Amino acid sequence: MKNYMDELLKKINSKTAKVGIIGLGYVGLPLALEFSLKGFKTIGFDIDSKKIPLLNSGKSYIKHISEEKVLQAVQSKNFSATTDFSKLTEVDVIIICVPTPLTEHREPDMTYIVDTAKMIQKYLRRGQLITLESTTYPGTTDEVLLPLFESPASDNEKYVVGKDFFLAFSPEREDPNNSNYTTSTIPKVVGGITPNCLEVALALYNQVIIKTVPVSSAKAAEATKLLENIYRSVNIALVNELKMVFDRMGIDVWEVIEAAKTKPFGFNAFYPGPGLGGHCIPIDPFYLTWKAREYDVNTKFIELAGEINTFQPYYVVNRLVEILNSHKKSIKDARILILGIAYKKNIDDLRESPSLKLIELLISKNALVDYSDPYIVQLPVTRKYNFNMQSVELTKENLKSYDSVVLSTDHDSFDYKFILENSNLIVDTRNKFNSLGFNSPKISKA
Amino acid sequence: MKNYMDELLKKINSKTAKVGIIGLGYVGLPLALEFSLKGFKTIGFDIDSKKIPLLNSGKSYIKHISEEKVLQAVQSKNFSATTDFSKLTEVDVIIICVPTPLTEHREPDMTYIVDTAKMIQKYLRRGQLITLESTTYPGTTDEVLLPLFESPASDNEKYVVGKDFFLAFSPEREDPNNSNYTTSTIPKVVGGITPNCLEVALALYNQVIIKTVPVSSAKAAEATKLLENIYRSVNIALVNELKMVFDRMGIDVWEVIEAAKTKPFGFNAFYPGPGLGGHCIPIDPFYLTWKAREYDVNTKFIELAGEINTFQPYYVVNRLVEILNSHKKSIKDARILILGIAYKKNIDDLRESPSLKLIELLISKNALVDYSDPYIVQLPVTRKYNFNMQSVELTKENLKSYDSVVLSTDHDSFDYKFILENSNLIVDTRNKFNSLGFNSPKISKA
């Protein structure tokens, strides 16, 4: 009888294993580059046919992922991209890096994972390792993926996990534009369905990641990623709540956070803002909330954090209305410029950006809204929004023409001195102006 | 006209200022020792007459405060303790380190602060600096202390703050038994009522503290301390909630926390437990909750954290009942041994310890409860509890005689191997046995 495990381990350890990565976004693309640059033949799969020719010609469509690296990977002939999923039969390892968004009712949208898993089921052959990296609820790998792969469409026989094929969960920990850590230098948690699955998955990731962290099960690995993001979501919500409480008391939350930060143990600073953004923090925690209901338990912290973080754009708009009113101006017909559309500074990603919500709320109040963001020249159509808007140039004349600017995302490339000098009013959701030492009656915090 | 500020600054900078410290507990005593060992004549005031002769004979009544330091301070003749508050007229600086507990209805109990402030009001003279270190709601220094000191009982004239006397808030940051940081090496936040107050208070603390951190107001300093403790309370509650959720899902929260800890940025580990203990974390956050009501705002995170942390001892007892029942034993008449009574490991302080609540709950269910704690030989009478109990010796025979032991506080000095070998059942609220590598069907987590 053939020992698929030994064979796969041998291929991995000799770098002759062929790696397939499904989903070439912020997670899949850097990972595919890591494998190919370490010498693994790597095929990138994506359903978005626009991405494929770009990548195959050595171009990057994500600003913080260097074009040079893509080009190098393509030229090495180790990397190629395709929309042809039948090539899944060619690879020894399949890594799933597809999105896990929420539906409009804040429930997990498992479409991408399920569709991908069915595609794999179609082509699965003995001796393959499949790992899932998408953030999801505990139990996904066991309950959604495993049953499909145990009954491959490509074979009449049942496959046995840990013997015929190997299945693991290993959460991505990408942090776009983090200058200290990149894909390969962030330790990676791995949980297998069986001990064999874990062993094979560890062998794989050890080839490209500085340190792997085995846990006892796939669901423990799934829970780990959720804990990391729930921690962030709750702590951001906590300072957002305290911002509103302290504001009433005439206390500047930013000053308080800076002072608390001087405690050399037991405190970690989080900062308030106009709301949560990005593909993780606003979304992932609710995967646990949803799953927990199956067990008759509530995740009260997650729901409270959601409530408070969701309220932040409304809070900013309320503050803006207050400030305009104190200058005898109404929000209706006021000209408002939103500075920064990306969900965090210095990146070009606007997924779940609170700036988009700000625009929506301001339009609903009949304000005249524009935005300026050097990273996002034109607002693309998103799942939720379709604003036909272009980034406004920050000239003297333009700035002067707005009743107020609202700093939503504090890109380093903004010229804050120039903005302050030429704006009528500034609503600063990031404490940026004060932290740069600028003080002016024009500036209000929100 | 006399310049009280210059005079006081001169005295402080030449170490000829006489320092009075009110409240010789976990905060006041180490601070008094710091000042006296740095060369300041220091008088410690306390209403507890039992403490005075002990201190004056060079004895410490707090385990983690070294007797040697007390003896050295007494022998240097710089330090003495007294219950005679009329000596407040002799000192140039008055530092208030009295308790700020909660009433039974979770409202601030300001008795100690108010009584102390009235005592100071009685003896106040021009040229004194008063600082408050007790954790309290934002506004205490301005609203409670200031009006009293502006109208000293010792003088017919009104005193002007920042000119006749100086008033500041500087929160204590004591962490008993922290081996990396002690009183003098933890940066200290200081907020004054006026800029002069701040300047004098900074001068004072700079004499004994490695780094002072000025903030713009007393209430910003008050808020800083609350933020630090609210952060801890909320994060402990969060993992306590996740412990209960993950437990239902068959996931070990301890394993998940250890795995999440390997993320090299953006995550800080907190651990679940049998409930909150100590003089800060379970109490301080509610000072903000109480004050916030005055401003028509709710502190939802604090209240949720309180709800979940308060529930933990009940959760542990429920788990214990479940485990006993699965062994066909009832909690009624079961013999239960609580290991560890102190509120955290390796200290002798049992204020707000969840172990006390566990004892109360178990007695209410007619279990036969004992405890063992090498740091607390006899249970003292507390504000809430009066159990007439002595620590049980951990012999083979004793351990075997209990239906279950419950590890509540994981002192390092416990012999865990011996406990495991000789106990019938163990309910481990600290994951101590597993983390030491012990695995046994006798062990359950709670």
Q: Looking up tokens 């001796």, which residue turns up?
A: A127
Domain layout of chain A by residue ranges: 4-216, 236-445
Chain B interface mutation, best of A181, A229, A249, highest count of B Cβ atoms under 10 Å: A249
Is B241 in Cβ contact with A139 (below 8 Å)? no
- Tell me, yes or no, if A97 is annotated catalytic: no
Query: How far is the alpha carbon of A380 from chain B, nearest alpha carbon, in Å?
Result: 30
B105 versus A297: the higher-pLDDT residue is: A297
Rg of chain B's alpha carbons, rounded to an integer? Answer: 24
Q: Looking up tokens 């143990």, which residue turns up?
A: A265
- The set of residues, in sequence order, having a beta carbon less than 8 Å from that of B414 and lying 6+ positions away, is B339, B340, B374, B394, B407
Mean pLDDT of B390-406: 98
Query: Nearest-CA neighbor of A145 among A156, A134, A154, A155?
Result: A134
CB A183 within 8 A of CB A159: no
Identify the pLDDT of residue A91. 98
Eight-state DSSP code of residue A436: T
Of chain A, the percentage scoring pLDDT greater than 90 comes to: 91
* pLDDT tens, residue by residue, B407-431: 999 999 999 999 999 999 999 999 9
| pLDDT-based confidence at residue A306 (cuts at 50, 70, 90) | very high
What is the distance between the alpha carbons of residues B6 and B12, in angstroms, rounded to a whole number? 10
What is the ipTM metric for this complex?
Answer: 0.95
Mean pLDDT over the full length of chain A = 96
Of A216, A256, A292, the CB nearest to B255: A216
Q: Is the pLDDT of residue A1 over 80?
A: no
Q: Exposure pattern of B53-73 as b/e (b: 16+ CB <10 Å)?
A: eebeebebbbebbeeebbebb
* pLDDT tens, residue by residue, B351-377: 889 999 999 999 999 999 999 999 999
Give the pair of three-digit tokens for residue B279: 């003089």
User: Measured between beta carbons, which residues in chain A are less than 8 angstroms from residue B266?
Assistant: 175, 228, 232
Is B187 in Cβ contact with A249 (below 8 Å)? no
What is the distance between the alpha carbons of residues A229 and A283, in angstroms, rounded to a whole number? 9
Q: Is the pLDDT of residue B279 over 90?
A: no
Give the pair of three-digit tokens for residue A367: 């304000």
Whether B236-445 and B4-216 are alike in CATH topology: the answer is yes
User: In this complex, how many residue pairs, one in chain A and one in chain B, have their CB atoms less than 8 Å apart?
Assistant: 183
Residue A50 three-state SS: coil
Superfamily of chain region A236-445? NAD(P)-binding Rossmann-like Domain (3.40.50.720)
CB B130 within 8 A of CB B165: yes
- The set of residues, in sequence order, having a beta carbon less than 8 Å from that of B259 and lying 6+ positions away, is A189, A213, A215, A220, A221, A224
* pLDDT tens, residue by residue, A167-191: 999 999 999 888 899 999 999 999 9
Report phi then psi at A300, rounded to 5. -65, -35
- Amino acid occupying residue A401: S
Give the pair of three-digit tokens for residue B130: 């008063």
* pLDDT tens, residue by residue, A11-53: 999 999 999 999 999 999 999 999 999 999 999 999 999 999 9
- CA dist B154 to A400, B89, B125, B149, Å? 60, 10, 7, 10
Identify the pLDDT of residue B87. 98
Q: Is the entire prediction scored with pTM above 0.80?
A: yes
* pLDDT tens, residue by residue, B184-217: 999 999 999 999 999 999 999 999 999 999 999 9
Pairing mode, strands B93-96 and B129-132: parallel
State the CATH architecture for B4-216: 3-Layer(aba) Sandwich (3.40)
Rg of chain A's alpha carbons, rounded to an integer? Answer: 24
Q: Exposure pattern of A223-245 as b/e (b: 16+ CB <10 Å)?
A: bbbbbbbbbbbbbbbbbbbbbbb
Query: How far is the alpha carbon of B389 from chain A, nearest alpha carbon, in Å?
Result: 34
